[in-house]
Chain A
Amino acid sequence: MNIKEIQDEIVEEFSMLTDWMDRYSLLIEMGNELDNFDETYRTEQNLIEGCQSKVWLHAWIEDGRIRFMADSDAIIVKGIVSLLIKVMDDRSPDEILQSELFFVDKIGLKEHLSPTRSNGLVSMIKQMRMYALAYKTKMENQ
């Protein structure tokens, strides 16, 4: 599935839940299911500090594709982080750079991506794209 298709799938999954409590419940479940974050990467360098919650993002390259691993101290943020990983992980730099993220908006979680919310998510997305750009430049120069 490409970035658009996987987002469509997430939107569909959430659209079946009309009650906000069910939606957040699913988000919390997803947060809990996010793969254990490798403690060696819980570094100052990987920390994206929001005013309200923290996000850690680690990226590496594997066969020309970008891999992400992330975590947050707040479970709702972690739920959204897990969705972002699902969408962005294991893609080529170009795919990430050309992607348009629409799912957060569509599943009614737009407020969490407002810059004033300062939960680290906006910076996390920016950081994902920065990694993509950096790896793209690096690969082109090789």
Chain B
Amino acid sequence: MNYPIEDIRKDFPILSRPVNGRPLVYFDNGATTQTPRQVVEAMSQVYYEYNSNIHRGVHTLSNICTEAFEAVRQKITTFINATETREVIFTRGTTEAINLVAHSFGETYLKAGDEIIISGMEHHSNIVPWQMLQKRRGIQLKVIPVLDDGSLDMGALQELVSPRTRLVAVTHISNVLGTINPVEEIIALAHQNQAAVLIDGAQAIHHTKVDVQQLDCDFYVFSGHKMYGPTGSGVLYGKEKWLSEMAPWQGGGEMIKSVTFDHFTFNELPYKFEAGTPDYVATIGLGAAVDYLQGVGLDAIHQYEEALYAYAFEQLSAFGGVEFYGTAANRGSLISFLIKGIHPFDAGTLIDKMGIAVRTGHHCAQPLMDRFGIPGTIRASFGLYNTRSEVDALMDGLAKVRQLFG
């Protein structure tokens, strides 16, 4: 495989800075990915050359900026293979997209007694919006249990789904366990029961090709900053049949068609869900990130990361005394583990001294930590620019940690 790793690393200036006197090893891609020059340049180009509020003025700059913004909608539509551009709503990120669905889907379709199913491995962002909805509308929240290997108990899901189920909201790839969930199966099962499905794609979109038509999911959400794009950008994909009926969430700005003091009518899709001036600069940056991913090629990235993942897993296994969390057959992109007798905070603190950035703690998934009875894990999450020698550096770091603990 001829993967241009050297060239790729040059696109990310931050990777060549030292941290605590050592070369940075960045393994916290699950929290946020680094941003390539191309994305930063696309955004500075907006500010330097054509910044202007979109969808408003008749003047030239506003037109250029609007076109650039809408071109990203087209780009995302193609990227995830949505049917129509109006099915692509720009948000501040995954969390906002889920909150939007929880609010608008809830407002339009749900009443007391209706059920929503989530899973035991969800990020707080795919738990709390539904709990808030539960309080507002008296719906029931059911949870698919997680098995010991970190996979979902699909048998239990079959029991949980009922004619009262209105929505199933699950993550595509777990941010803690790395489990790749059988989303096709979940979607098919939910659809047999006329329930809609939301897939949290925050950890998946940059690792694997996502085709929303093939998946047949009703909603798919993801963040720009986890796919080499800027913070403040994100996407809600939704099938038009839902989005067109769903009540708007926030009011003002672009979502409005006409306003009098007695009345307002709201705009059509997708603008109905984009109140206020959107972060068009970040969104244009997101477009550049999509270009970047496609330039390297998602298949090539996937293959490269798989190999890196396998290498890291092998090295950690050989290290001994490592407890893995998430050992399901179908997994990828990140490894969660603990070293016997060493608290994740201690390990994380010490390897940080060696320039290695990993995430430690509960990863915003406290119910999952409770499930495994642990305070947290050490998580190494990989990106398209990581290398085997960085994995070696991590292993050296962990060896030093063990040495310090005697």
Contact = CB atoms under 8 A, between A and B. Distances in A.
Contact of A28 (B353, B360, B405): B405
B375 interface: yes
A109 to B, nearest CB: 10
B343 A73 contact: yes
Secondary structure dominating the interface of B: mixed
B350 interface: yes
B47 interface: no
Contacts of A28: 346, 404-405
Interface stretch (A18-26, A37-45, A134-142): A18-26
Contact of B346 (A20, A21, A54, A74): A74
Given A28-B405, A52-B376, A53-B375, A21 B400 contact: yes
A7 interface: no
Contacts of B350: 24, 76
B361 interface: yes
B349 interface: yes
Kindly name the residue among B343, B360, B362 whose own CB sees the greatest number of chain A CB atoms within 10 A.
B343
B404 A54 contact: no
Contacts of B375: 53-54, 73
Given A20-B353, A24-B350, A53-B375, A74 B404 contact: no
A113 interface: no
A55 to B, nearest CB: 11
Contacts of A24: 349-350, 353, 404
Contacts of B346: 28, 74-76
Given A74-B345, A75-B346, A77-B345, A52 B353 contact: no
Contacts of B349: 24, 76, 112
A1 to B, nearest CB: 29
Contacts of A82: none
A129 B360 CA distance: 29
A21 B349 CA distance: 11
B97 to A, nearest CB: 25
Nearest to A120: B345
Contacts of A53: 343, 345, 375
Interface of A: 20-21, 24-25, 28, 51-54, 73-77, 112, 119
28 contacts: A20-B20, A20-B353, A21-B353, A24-B349, A24-B353, A25-B404, A28-B404, A28-B405, A51-B361, A52-B344, A52-B345, A52-B348, A52-B360, A52-B361, A52-B376, A53-B343, A53-B345, A53-B375, A54-B375, A73-B343, A74-B343, A75-B342, A75-B346, A76-B345, A76-B346, A76-B350, A77-B345, A119-B345
Interface of B: 20, 342-346, 348-350, 353, 360-362, 375-376, 400, 404-405
Given A21-B404, A54-B375, A112-B349, 8 more contacts: A20-B353, A24-B404, A73-B343, A73-B375, A74-B343, A74-B345, A75-B342, A76-B349
